[in-house]
Amino acid sequence: MGKLLQKPKSFYNEFFRSPSPDKLSTHYCPGCGHGVIHKYVAEAMDDFGIADNTIWISPVGCSVFGYYYFDCGHQQVPHGRAPAVATGVKRSHPEAIVISYQGDGDLAAIGGNNIIQAANRGENITVIFVNNSIYGMTGGQMAPTTLVGQTTTTSPYGRNPANEGYPMRMAELIAQLEAPVYVERVALNNAQNRNKTRKAIRKALKIQIDKKGFSLVEILSQCPSGWKVSPVDSLKWMEENQMPYFPLGVFKDVVEQRNPLETKPRIWDKDTIIKMLDLDRQVKEYAKPNPTKDIYEQPKIKVAGFGGQGILMLGVLLSEAAMLNGKQVTWIPSYGPEMRGGTANCQVVIRNNKVGNPSVDKPTILIAMNQPSLDRFEKDVIPGGLIVINETLVTSGVTRDDVDVLAHPFSDIADKQLGTVKVQNSLILGALIKHTNMLDQQAIFDALPAHIKKIDLIPLNKKAIELGFSLG
């Protein structure tokens, strides 16, 4: 058990959360690099006075018990996911200091994409990346950073690039990205490099305090147990094996060029929220409709045609108007295979009470915008129901004689009299409302602004509805 001599203030005096009877020693093996790195981070936390505001993220690895030691908030998280969790924490509390403390298996293997993406987003967090070229916690298996020829329990013949590729230089990889501010690799092999490690950690934390963005310090760290060497020999092992492959140095430093990140405050003012959510519409009263037939009191409507004929919108406007007029209503679009082949339909159920099934198998009203729609759905309409036909695209008439028919060349009329075929749906809507008197006409006009996002199109649609009234 490694003892820490002078304890930084950000370290607990007694490790009360540790299950070990010895509350003064860490759980790390003798000669382990983690303890040294912990001390440097705690000292930096002392110097900046940030422990009160720090949230420490510990994924799985030998350092998963970070919460035994640091006197700050903690989240223990799944293997490799520290950068994602850190993102969630930091986006929730931009003022907090978030430290993601990760091993090499954690960061380079299972969490490879998470670290790259967090770095690429420029999350304002500090990543301490402890590269010991091994999976320490699980008993010395191969890591992505295990060196060529290095024997581990899962590379008993030595790492073979032909089988498992080459060790990954993560600092260099991360430094390639645009967003990161500062990326450096340091080592614990001698006093001089340990001093550099101390400085690098301080710098990385300062960057976060100054809201400058993402920084990562990769630390070559000894794992005597995993390397199967004595604590004393481990430093030599590091110099002979790790250091030739993992060059030390600063791979990226753009601190001076970067401005502090800005975060927008949350809005809690109720009126502003209601307005921003488009929930600030006024309630209006409408006349009780007086339908021309009883069946139009609670009709089921199917609107069918080609995609692009404004079919879905016709249904939505009708439904919105029904709601404004005090009705219960559902609207569903056609889905799945029906959406292919250019046909589209939507189904609207209007009732005085809660709607059950929103699907319309036997419509009261069928609006057939083209021939295939009439062919397909004519037989389903209830006896005494209504079929609205767009004669521009429907050449055959209705074959049944037990239904009411409202037929006009709607597309042509829209094109010639309103200047665009696009408003054929509003034209039909007007004709339908006039014919059935199922809703208050004013409700139809008031339905437009809620769903037609381009406000300059509203007047033309109004005109189309009015013209439609004359066709009903």
Residues that bind ligand TPP (CB under 6 A): 60-63, 79, 103-106, 130, 132, 134-138, 143
Scanning 358-423, the segments in alpha helix (DSSP H) are: 371-377, 410-418
* Interaxial angle between packed helices 33-48 and 191-209, expressed in degrees from 0 to 180 and rounded to the nearest 10: 40
Cα atoms in the 13 Å half-sphere on the side-chain side of 413: 21
Of the residues 66, 105, 224, 468, which one makes contact with ligand SF4 according to CB under 6 A = 224
223 binds ligand SF4 (CB under 6 A): yes
77 binds another protein (CB under 8 A): yes
Q: What whole-number distance in Å separates Cα of residue 40 and Cα of residue 20?
A: 23
208 binds another protein (CB under 8 A): no
Closest approach of another protein to the CB of residue 228, in Å? 25
Of the residues 126, 146, 208, 225, which one makes contact with ligand SF4 according to CB under 6 A = 225
133 binds ligand SF4 (CB under 6 A): no
Q: Which two tokens stand for residue 467?
A: 């013209």
**Nearer of residues 36 and 444 to ligand TPP, judged by Cβ:** 36
Query: Of 38-46, 103-111, 293-301, 323-331, which part binds Mg ion (CB under 5 A)?
Result: 103-111
């030691």: which residue's tokens? 69
51 binds another protein (CB under 8 A): yes
**Nearer of residues 133 and 208 to ligand TPP, judged by Cβ:** 133
62 binds ligand SF4 (CB under 6 A): yes
Scanning 286-369, the segments in alpha helix (DSSP H) are: 311-324
């993992």: which residue's tokens? 246
- CA angle (236 as vertex; 216, 30 as ends), nearest 5: 75
Contacts of residue 155, Cβ cutoff 8 Å, sequence gap at least 6: 142, 146, 164
220 binds ligand SF4 (CB under 6 A): no
Nearest to 8 by CA among 246, 267, 201: 201
Of the residues 161, 358, 384, 449, which one makes contact with another protein according to CB under 8 A = 358
Closest approach of Mg ion to the CB of residue 16, in Å? 27
């931009």: which residue's tokens? 94
- Residue ranges in 219-278 that form contacts with another protein under rule CB under 8 A: 264-268, 270, 272-274, 276-278
**Nearer of residues 32 and 427 to ligand TPP, judged by Cβ:** 32
Closest approach of ligand TPP to the CB of residue 38, in Å? 12
Instruction: Tell me the CA distances in angstroms from 382 to 366, 379, 437, one per residue in order.
Output: 10, 8, 19
- Residue ranges in 273-312 that form contacts with another protein under rule CB under 8 A: 273-274, 276-283
218 binds Mg ion (CB under 5 A): no
132 binds ligand SF4 (CB under 6 A): yes
* Amino acid, single-letter form, for residue 450: A
Q: Are the C-beta atoms of 294 and 333 separated by less than 8 Å?
A: no
